[in-house]
Amino acid sequence: EVQLVESGGGMIQPGGSLRLSCAASGFTVSSNYMSWVRQAPEKGLEWVSVIYSGGSTYYSESVKGRFTISRDNSKNTVYLQMNSLRAEDTAVYYCARGISSSSAYHLFDFWGRGTLVTVSS
């Protein structure tokens, strides 16, 4: 059974750093692409970052230069290092697995339950 469990969220002051983890089971993260998607309070979903099976990484314009996605194959875990945090980064952060099909590679088939990040002084 595919499972994604996020952790590492919490309250942090503006300018601070936080590292989120996404522990996967039931599949191998290195064989799939993995993304982070966030949802601000009472707002919609927003794609944040992706790491492909080959290791390439991409980011949304709103987090580029501040966030870094990575993975540890030995732990089957994906991370999101968040630096220079701003109030507008406050959101629930979801980990999601990408679909392997070439026609739907930009979509997701499994999601985690999310972890809440609150940036506030």
Q: Which residues bind another protein (CB under 8 A)?
A: 35, 37, 39, 44-47, 50, 58, 60-61, 92, 94, 96, 99, 101, 103-104, 106-114
Residue 86: CB minimum distance to another protein, A: 19
Residue 15: CB minimum distance to another protein, A: 26
User: CB-wise, 27 or 110, nearer to another protein?
Assistant: 110
Q: What are phi and psi for residue 73, nearest 5 degrees?
A: -65, -35
User: CB-wise, 64 or 73, nearer to another protein?
Assistant: 64
Residues 80, 68: Cα–Cα separation, whole Å: 6
Torsion sign across C-alpha atoms 56, 53, 23, 60:
positive
User: CB-wise, 4 or 82, nearer to another protein?
Assistant: 4
Residues 73, 63: Cα–Cα separation, whole Å: 24
Residue 13: CB minimum distance to another protein, A: 25
Residues 96, 110: Cα–Cα separation, whole Å: 6
